[in-house]
A and B are shown apart, each in its own frame.
Chain A
Amino acid sequence: MELCELTANELHRMLTGKDVRAEEICLSVFRRIDKTEDQVKAYLALHPEEALEQARAVDRKIAKGEEISPLAGIPIALKDNLCTKGHRTTCASKILYNFVPPYNATVVDKLNGQDVVIIGKTNMDEFAMGSSTENSAYQQTCNPWNPDCVPGGSSGGSAAAVAAGEAICALGSDTGGSIRQPAAFCGVVGMKPTYGTVSRYGLVAFASSLDQIGPLSKDVTDCALMLNAICGHDPMDSTSVPTELPDYREALVTDIDGFRIGIPAEYFAAGLDDHVRRVIEEAITVLEQRGARVEETTLPHTEYALPTYYIIAPAEASSNLARYDGVRYGYRVEDAKDVLDMFSRSRSRGFGAEVKRRVMLGTYALSAGYYDAYYLEALKVRTLIRRDFERAFEKYDCLISPTTPSTAFRFGEKVDDPVTMYLSDVFTLAVNLAGLPGVSIPAGFVDGMPVGLQFIGKPFSESTLLRAAYTFEQSTTHHLKRPSLTPEVE
């Protein structure tokens, strides 16, 4: 096995044991990128020189006998909606084709503080709007398990990079499932933490009340290491929560004896692929064998999650994306007649179809005369959805469900039918509306394509989720499988 196929935890042990140098790990990842990136197309930008420099700095620390952090020297990919000082941050949009932030996102500063090695910026659906990464203005990212299939989205580039060994871990963002759904499609672990756990400063906003940054990794252990690095209060983000956070590594125990797990019936209803259902049922059996008490429960307002989400998220997006007008940065038409013409044509040409669709939806929902009927109603339903979960968590330590109704679909299969595309996030949206933590982990395969198992917890119960996920993972081998998309096999 090559270095790039190992986990951060394994590589850390090798680094501290002086079995390997950070530079070798970095080179291994870039060799893999050289081999597979033409097919995967996970990255919008690579930063090889800086990455190697960061790796060598870690090697110097180790040589001097200094203690290194658990993620020091670990190659990590960043979704291209995370601001990186001096490096283009495009959100896979034409409108930000030339935007170079003069600041780092707080998570990027935090990772730098851990001496990680940042490989580059990954592809995504434009402004994180989409479920297949097909909405990128730049390129199509393939699913490493089958190049005819989408990697999921919107953090498709990050998920594909981790699955293909083009990064050890990655950061994504999740507004309605954008970490968990691609993690499920690409057979990796992806967590959306509780709203407010990770600073959003420097994450280019899609829907502010739903967005949350989270990690993608090969296993649950790396997920915990990444969470330790990125969580915590940030005075630059008023919505970040000033609470004491645990060391998530302590959650990595294989013990869920007596755990009460609920299965929301609504998440196993029509629309769920039978093969996926069977994989999840097997997973439930595994959890029961490890001592969990699993029973069916109900989240009665589930059917309203999707329409509620598609009012609130576009409403906030229409506001957040108003700033892209060509005045200060980004794409601007050359031959504007006047300032209004400049605004409208820069935006018409700079944004892709899905972004424009959502900006229009959101503008409509917030307009005078419609606000009460749409936005205000959606806020009320959002409260009902949150209460569903609160009631469930009075009885259960966590809930489980399939992450997605099906495995990764083929390119073009849904991109022309927005509603069908939106339905691929039907099991993940409600978690964002309720601000809860959710993690997707590999649960098995259907026709060689990964299936994700989602754990949902109450606010700030990441440790509980990690413990359940870790116990399941250690009882199975799905997370050890790697896609065969490598030239050696071809």
Chain B
Amino acid sequence: MNKYEPVIGLEVHVELQTASKIFCHSSTTFGGDPNHHVCPVCLGLPGTLPVLNRKVVEAAIMIGLALNCSVARFCKFDRKHYFYPDLPKNYQISQYDLPIADNGYLEVQDEDGNPVRVGITRVHMEEDAGKLVHQGTDATTPYSLVDYNRTGVPLLEIVSEPDMRSPREARAYLDKLKTIIQYTGVSDCRMEEGSLRCDANISVRLRGSQTLGTKTEIKNMNSFRALQKAVQFEINRQIECLETGRRIVQETRAWDEIEGVTLATRSKEEAHDYRYFPEPDLVPIVISPSWIEEITRQLPELPDARCRRFIDEYRIPAYDAGVLTGSRELGDYYEECVKIYPQAKTVSNWVMGELLRLLNDTNSEIGESRVTPRQLAEMLTLIDKGTISGKLAKEVFGEMFRTGKDAEMVVKEKGLEQISDEVSINAVIEQVIASHPGPVADYRAGKDRALGFLVGQIMKDTRGKANPGLVNELLKNRLR
């Protein structure tokens, strides 16, 4: 394995969350009854013409800037031709030789945790195709249906340089790309809904070689996990080919999730001639420096910069900062909470610990959390005031997470308030001493361990509500 070096490049398609499609007024809403989010333009009916949605250009410029690309001053659309029933015009309006942005990069960590740059070759705008719907079997239903709801939904295609050297790096790249795009707010990047799609170009070569091996293109990877698995499989397959003296064929292969293999679908000889030519129904796009400046001003703080700021500003470990800035919403949540409750590391522990654990258990996202940052901050204040113990706080938080109630209300309702008055605690101490003469004698004989047993009994009798520090102090005094 170490004899070979894998070379990986990714082609990512991202659906933009504009209200209307790229060339018409139809809605981009996901789902809906088949063929309901359509109009004569996106159905490509005779005589209709595309009109470019300005929001799509703005989103593309924003992504170009976020990926450190140079944004074109002048670009145009081209027609890409192929016959397929989900493509109403039998050509896709895309960008060929003049993409809106090119020559950028993003930073990921390699296998050893060192930062590496992955080059972005280009970013271009295009329209999405529809979907074929298959019902029954070939015998019962010898036809397919077409749903054109997705036709004309704006897409950005983001092509990387072949800069990745391992499946994990490929996954890290896609993760980072997704995070950056989510930060800009132009797409939700949901792989399962198809708003983020990824193809991989893979080749292997002898380590140290400067020439590229024959590549294959892998399609049909529907999750981050699938990407990593498929890339790994394909690398192994290619190495095995070379080791056994077989030739690697340049071809398109599909990832079979169930079998865990890639299978050839189309060879280079069968490759399409797309017959690109400039789209005559659209005028070229001229992007002025002032337009780029305007969008630069709208560009939010991106994950890398935010991570560095978290480390500097909140003095939290790099690991914490990385997790907390992993999504814009999570970072926002954290910062809002810290604004009210400035002990940044405590907040980080709670957000990364209990909150993420509960979100994960309930398969929900930070945006769906019923505990607001203010409520979390208030709970942390109750711990500081001694109203609840750190241990009980987890129970309180769990209840807050389920019900959305304030910490104080949960504490009151459940009677979880910490017992900190000496009279009450002393009363319990007397009882425990009376009923456990053995351990009391042991402690007095110098066996310190017995104290732990007695404290445990007191905590048990107060159902964990007694202030543990106070119990310790009072018990020691009593037994002295």
From residue A333, how far is it (CB to closest CB) to chain B in Å? 14
> Are A323 and B280 in contact, with the CB atoms below 8 A?
no
B40: Cβ under 8 A from any A Cβ: yes
A sample of 19 cross-chain residue pairs with beta-carbon separation below 8 angstroms, ordered by A number, consists of A83-B47, A91-B46, A99-B46, A103-B40, A105-B47, A204-B47, A205-B46, A205-B47, A235-B51, A238-B281, A239-B281, A319-B277, A322-B83, A322-B89, A323-B88, A325-B90, A328-B88, A367-B273, A368-B275
Q: Interface size class for chain A?
A: 35 or more
B52: Cβ under 8 A from any A Cβ: yes
Known contacts A209-B280, A322-B89, A371-B277; is A96 also within 8 Å of B49 by CB? no
CA distance A340 to B44 in the complex (A): 19
> Are A238 and B83 in contact, with the CB atoms below 8 A?
no
> Are A366 and B280 in contact, with the CB atoms below 8 A?
no
> Are B49 and A238 in contact, with the CB atoms below 8 A?
yes
From residue B301, how far is it (CB to closest CB) to chain A in Å? 36
CA distance A236 to B144 in the complex (A): 32
A253: Cβ under 8 A from any B Cβ: no
CA distance A328 to B88 in the complex (A): 8
Contact of B275 among A99, A237, A343, A367 (CB under 8 A): A367
B122: Cβ under 8 A from any A Cβ: no
**Cβ < 8 Å to A, chain B residues 281-295:** 281-283
Report B209-245 CB contacts with A as 1/0, cut-off 8 Å.
0000000000000000000000000000000000000
> Are A96 and B46 in contact, with the CB atoms below 8 A?
yes
B43: Cβ under 8 A from any A Cβ: yes
Known contacts A319-B91, A322-B90, A363-B275; is A327 also within 8 Å of B85 by CB? yes
CA distance A367 to B158 in the complex (A): 26
> Are B83 and A325 in contact, with the CB atoms below 8 A?
yes
Q: For A343, list chain B residues within 8 Å (CB).
A: 83
Residue of B with least CB distance to A82: B47
> Are B275 and A200 in contact, with the CB atoms below 8 A?
no
**Cβ < 8 Å to B, chain A residues 303-325:** 315-316, 318-319, 322-323, 325
> Are B46 and A368 in contact, with the CB atoms below 8 A?
no
Q: For B281, list chain A residues within 8 Å (CB).
A: 205, 208, 238-239
Closest 3 interchain pairs by CB? A322-B90, A208-B280, A366-B275
> Are B283 and A239 in contact, with the CB atoms below 8 A?
yes
Contact of B85 among A235, A315, A339 (CB under 8 A): A339
**Cβ < 8 Å to A, chain B residues 41-71:** 43-52
Q: Interface size class for chain B?
A: 20 to 34
Q: For B52, list chain A residues within 8 Å (CB).
A: 238
Q: For A83, list chain B residues within 8 Å (CB).
A: 46-47
Report A198-241 CB contacts with B as 1/0, cut-off 8 Å.
00111111011100000000000000000000000001111100
> Are B89 and A201 in contact, with the CB atoms below 8 A?
no
**Cβ < 8 Å to A, chain B residues 260-283:** 273, 275-277, 280-283
Q: For A28, list chain B residues within 8 Å (CB).
A: none
Known contacts A238-B51, A323-B88; is A204 also within 8 Å of B43 by CB? no
Q: For B374, list chain A residues within 8 Å (CB).
A: none
**Cβ < 8 Å to B, chain A residues 265-324:** 315-316, 318-319, 322-323
CA distance A371 to B81 in the complex (A): 14
CA distance A54 to B277 in the complex (A): 44
Contact of B45 among A81, A237, A329 (CB under 8 A): A329
Residue of B with least CB distance to A325: B90
B79: Cβ under 8 A from any A Cβ: yes
Residue of A with least CB distance to B51: A238
CA distance A469 to B398 in the complex (A): 87
Q: For A207, list chain B residues within 8 Å (CB).
A: 280
> Are A238 and B283 in contact, with the CB atoms below 8 A?
yes
Q: For A316, list chain B residues within 8 Å (CB).
A: 277, 280
A448: Cβ under 8 A from any B Cβ: no
Residue of A with least CB distance to B273: A368
CA distance A339 to B277 in the complex (A): 26
CA distance A375 to B275 in the complex (A): 11
From residue A90, how far is it (CB to closest CB) to chain B in Å? 10
Residue of B with least CB distance to A210: B280
